[in-house]
């Protein structure tokens, strides 16, 4: 059975979401988002930097959320949740799948560091402000792309799992403006999905 090493309020939520959407059986090792768990000798054997998520599948152990999603899709997705490679939608699917980590998550990481992870005396308001402005610019093209669409590329896909989770986090951090009506509607549709609700409340 698939085993997911998981911590709440992290990218590991994407993996639970995907596994739920695909109806796969899995078990979860729920860890605290704290060095006592993540930096333990045991967990560093799974991930050299002590990060999550990590997925174990028999003799396979794989980290990086995007890589895990691609692995699960290839092994267990049965061709679902992504356009066929010869589909006109496939390039755009790849674009938004990878836009998440390339453009949206870096400023989110900085915002989290300077609002939650660092002690108050080490936080930098200028760095925080720059990250907030960058995040606003990063989600604007997603809002534009969603004009007249329910999801990023045709039907719901793994690109929505990747980028949808990221813009949900951006919205929770107050960085999706009310003027971005397409994005606000998209986030509401994501939040209504039962598989997402399972992932975000775990």
Task: Give yes or no: residues 101 and 71 share one domain.
Answer: no
The pLDDT of residue 19 is 98
Position 20 confidence tier, pLDDT thresholds 50, 70, 90: very high
SS3 128: helix
**pLDDT tens profile 98-153:** 999 999 999 999 999 999 889 999 999 999 999 999 999 999 999 999 999 999 99
Q: Do 102 and 186 share a domain, yes or no?
A: yes
Q: Using alpha carbons only, what angle is made at residue 190 by residues 32 and 64, rounded to the nearest 5 degrees?
A: 45
130 and 186 assigned to the same domain:
yes
Of the chain, the percentage scoring pLDDT greater than 70 comes to 100
Predicted TM-score of the model (pTM): 0.94
pLDDT at residue 163, as a whole number = 98
The reported pLDDT for the residue numbered 34 is 83
Render pLDDT for 49-58 as a digit per residue (tens, 0 to 9). 999 999 999 9
Which residue in 107, 94, 91, 189 sits closest to 140, CA to CA? 107
Q: Is 49 exposed, middle or buried (0-12, 13-18, 19+ CB in 10 A)?
A: exposed
The pLDDT-based confidence of 38 (bands split at 50, 70, 90) is confident
Whether 187 contacts 176, CB under 8 Å: yes
**Same domain assignment for residues 40 and 98:** no
Containing domain of residue 166, as a range? 90-193
Instruction: Determine how β-strand 26-30 pairs with β-strand 2-6.
Output: parallel
- Inside any domain, residue 36: yes
Residues 72 and 94 in one domain: no
Q: Which CATH number goes with the domain that contains 26?
A: 3.40.30.10
The pLDDT of 8-19, averaged and rounded, is 96
Look at the chain and report how many structural domains it folds into.
2
Rounded mean pLDDT, 18-28: 98
| Position 198 confidence tier, pLDDT thresholds 50, 70, 90 | very high
> Is 120 inside any structural domain?
yes
pLDDT at 56: 98
Last residue of a domain, one of 76, 109, 141: 76
The chain-wide mean pLDDT, for the chain, equals 96
Q: Return the pLDDT at 117.
A: 87
Q: Are 5 and 43 in contact (CB under 8 A)?
A: yes
CATH of residue 133:
1.20.1050.10
Q: Quick one: 96 and 189 in the same domain?
A: yes
Looking at residue 143, its pLDDT comes to: 98
pLDDT for residue 45 is more than 90 = yes
64 located within any domain:
yes
Let me know if residue 16 belongs to a domain: yes
User: pLDDT band for position 200 (50/70/90)?
Assistant: very high
pLDDT of residue 140: 97
Q: How confident is the model at residue 36 (pLDDT cuts 50, 70, 90)?
A: confident
Question: What residues form DSSP beta bridges with 56?
Answer: 3, 61
Would you tell me the crossing angle of helices 181-191 and 125-145 to the nearest 10 degrees?
A: 90
| Domain presence at residue 81 | no
The answer to whether residues 27 and 115 belong to one domain is no
- pLDDT at res. 128: 97
């Amino acid at each position: 059975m698939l085993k997911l090493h998981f911590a709440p309020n992290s990218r590991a939520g994407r993996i639970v979401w995907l596994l739920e959407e695909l109806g796969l059986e899995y078990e979860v090792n729920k860890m605290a988002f704290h060095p006592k768990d993540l930096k333990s000798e045991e967990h560093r054997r799974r991930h050299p930097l002590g990060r999550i998520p990590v997925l174990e599948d028999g003799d396979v152990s794989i980290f990086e959320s995007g890589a895990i999603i691609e692995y699960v899709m290839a092994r267990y997705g049965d061709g679902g949740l992504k356009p066929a490679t010869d589909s006109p939608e496939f390039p755009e699917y790849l674009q938004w799948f990878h836009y998440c980590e390339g453009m949206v998550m870096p400023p989110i990481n900085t915002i989290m560091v300077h609002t939650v992870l660092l002690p108050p005396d080490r936080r930098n308001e200028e760095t925080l402000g720059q990250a907030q402005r960058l995040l606003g610019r990063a989600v604007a093209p997603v809002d534009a792309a969603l004009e007249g669409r329910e999801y990023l590329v045709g039907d719901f896909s793994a690109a929505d799992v990747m980028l949808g989770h990221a813009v949900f986090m951006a919205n929770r951090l107050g960085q999706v403006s009310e003027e971005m009506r397409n994005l606000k509607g998209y986030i509401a549709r994501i939040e209504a999905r039962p598989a997402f609700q399972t992932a975000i409340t775990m």
